Amino acid sequence: MTTNMKKLPKDSFERITIDSSHAEKISKPSLSFWQDAWLRIRKNKAAIVSMFILVFIVFMAFVGPYMVEHDPEDVKVAHASLPPKIPGLEKLGIFDGEGKLGSKTVNLYELKKVEVNYWFGTDSLGRDLFSRLWKGTQISLLIAFVAAVIDVVIGVIYGGISGYYGGRVDDIMQRIVEVLIGIPTLVIVILMIMIMKPGIWSIIIALSITGWIGMSRIVRGQVLKYKNQEFVLAAKTLGASDTRIIVKHLLPNIMAIIVINMMFTIPTAIFFEAFLSFIGMGLQAPKASLGTLINDGYKFLEYQPHILFFPAVIISLLMIAFNLIGDGLRDALDPKMKD
C-alpha cells in the first residue's frame, strides 16, 4: 500500500473543503401533503383503475343522455320493450335487436318496423334505456354527492365545535349524539321519506338527517387530538382567534380523514337511494335513478333481462370504484392505518 502511494504524484490530489452549510441541504423538492399522497396512491393499481371507471361513469352521466336522439322521459308505446341494438355489433351476434316473442327468438326491430336504434333497448313504455340509464346515474350521483357534502359540513361544524370548546358544550353536544346514534339509519330514512313527498330533496334530507353523526364523532376525536399540540398553542399565543385556529390550523390536519370518510359516505348514499327506490319509496316516474331503473328491470326480469342488466352493472361498478378509491386513499393519506 504505502509503496504504491509514493508513486502517485502529489498534484493528482486536491484538497476539498466541505462547506458545512450544505450538510442539511434537501436535494429533493419538498412535496406537499397531497403530492405525497398522490405518489403513494399512484402505486395502487385498483384505485387508479377505479378512478378511470369513475371518471368515465361521471362523464357519461352528463354526456350520455345527449349522445342519442331519444329523450329519457319520452314515452313511445309503439317502441315498447325493444331489446338492445347497437349498429356495428350486430355481426357478432350480440346487441342485434333480437329478442324473445313467446318462445321464438325474432328480430323485434324488423317485426315492429322500428327504423331507429335503441342501444340499450327500451322499457315497457318505450322509453330509451340508454339515455334513461345515464340520466338516472346522474341523479343517483347527485343525490349521493349532495348528501355526502351535507354530512361533511354538519359533521365538521358540530364535531369541531364540540371538540374544540370542550367542557360543558362538549358534554351536552355529545349526550345529544349518543341518543341520536342509537337510532338505526334504516328506520329514520324510511320514516322521513314517508312524511315528505318522495323526490330528490326528500331523499337527500332523509339521508343527511343522521348521516352527519359518524363524521362529527370522527372530527371531534381528531380535534381533541390536535387542539392541545404545540402548534395550536403557538397560534394562540400569537393571538389567533378561535375561528382562525379551527379553519387554518386544525382543519388542514384533519382534512385527510374527512376526505376518506366522504369516499365511504358516497357509496352508502348511492346504496340507500337505490334501496329506497327498490322498495317503492324513491323517485316517482318518469324521473329515473339507478334504483328505480333496477326496480323496473326486476319486474320484467324473466323476458327482458337487459332492462335490469345495465343499471345493475353501473351501480355495482360505482360502488366498487368508490370503495376501492376510498381504500386507496386511506392507505395513501394515513399510513398509520395501513395493514
Partner 1 sequence: MAKYITKRVIYMFLSLFLIASFTFVLMKLLPGSPLASASKLSVEQREVVYEKYGLNDPIPVQYVRYMGNLAKGDFGVSFQYKNADVTTLIVKKLKYSAILGAQALIFGTLIGIILGMIAALKQNTVWDYGSTIIAILGISIPSFVFAVLLQYVFAVWLEVLPVGLWEGWKSSILPSIALAMGPIAIAARFIRTEMIEVLSSDYILLAKAKGANWFEIAFKHAFRNALIPLITVLGPVAAGLLTGSLVVEQIFAIPGIGQQFVKSISSNDFAVIMGTTMFFSVFLIVIILIVDILYGVIDPRIRLSGGSK
DSSP bridge partners of 280? none
Could you identify the residue written with the cell 315492429? Answer: 112
Identify the residue among 173, 204, 223, 281 touching partner 1 (CB under 8 A): 281
**Residue placing its CB nearer to partner 1 in the complex, 253 or 323:** 323
**Residue placing its CB nearer to partner 1 in the complex, 117 or 304:** 304
335 touching partner 1, by CB under 8 A:
no
Identify the residue among 315, 325, 329, 333 touching partner 1 (CB under 8 A): 315
Identify the residue among 274, 288, 325, 333 touching partner 1 (CB under 8 A): 274
Residue 331's CB: how many other CB atoms inside 10 A? Answer: 19
**Residue placing its CB nearer to partner 1 in the complex, 67 or 187:** 187
End-to-end Cα, the chain, rounded Å: 53
CB of 322 to partner 1, least distance (A): 8
Using CA atoms, how far apart are residues 109 and 126, in angstroms rounded to an integer? 13
**Residue placing its CB nearer to partner 1 in the complex, 117 or 295:** 295
Assess contact for 121 and 95: CB atoms under 8 A.
no
For the segment 178-217, give every residue that binds partner 1 (CB under 8 A).
178-188, 190-192, 194-195
CB of 271 to partner 1, least distance (A): 5
Using alpha carbons, list the distances in angstroms from residue 247 to 2, 161, 164, 223, 232: 68, 11, 12, 11, 12
**Residue placing its CB nearer to partner 1 in the complex, 65 or 291:** 291
Of 228, 254, 249, residue with least CA distance to 159: 254
67 touching partner 1, by CB under 8 A:
no
Using CA atoms, how far apart are residues 191 and 188, in angstroms rounded to an integer? 5
Strands (E), the chain: 98-101, 104-107
Of 243, 240, 245, residue with least CA distance to 228: 245
Which x/- pattern, by CB under 8 A, does the window 229-268 give for partner 1?
A: --------------------------------------x-
Q: Say which residues have a Cβ less than 8 Å from residue 292's Cβ, sequence separation at least 6.
A: 136, 277, 282, 283, 285
Which cell numbers hold the place of 137?
A: 346515474
163 touching partner 1, by CB under 8 A:
no
308 touching partner 1, by CB under 8 A:
yes
Q: How far is CA 2 from the centre of its chain?
A: 71
Stretch that binds partner 1, among 13-21, 131-139, 142-150, 175-183 (CB under 8 A): 175-183
CB of 75 to partner 1, least distance (A): 24
51 touching partner 1, by CB under 8 A:
no
Residues engaged in binding partner 1 (CB under 8 A):
178-188, 190-192, 194-195, 267, 271, 274-275, 278-281, 294, 298, 301-302, 305, 308, 312, 315-316, 319-320, 322-324, 339
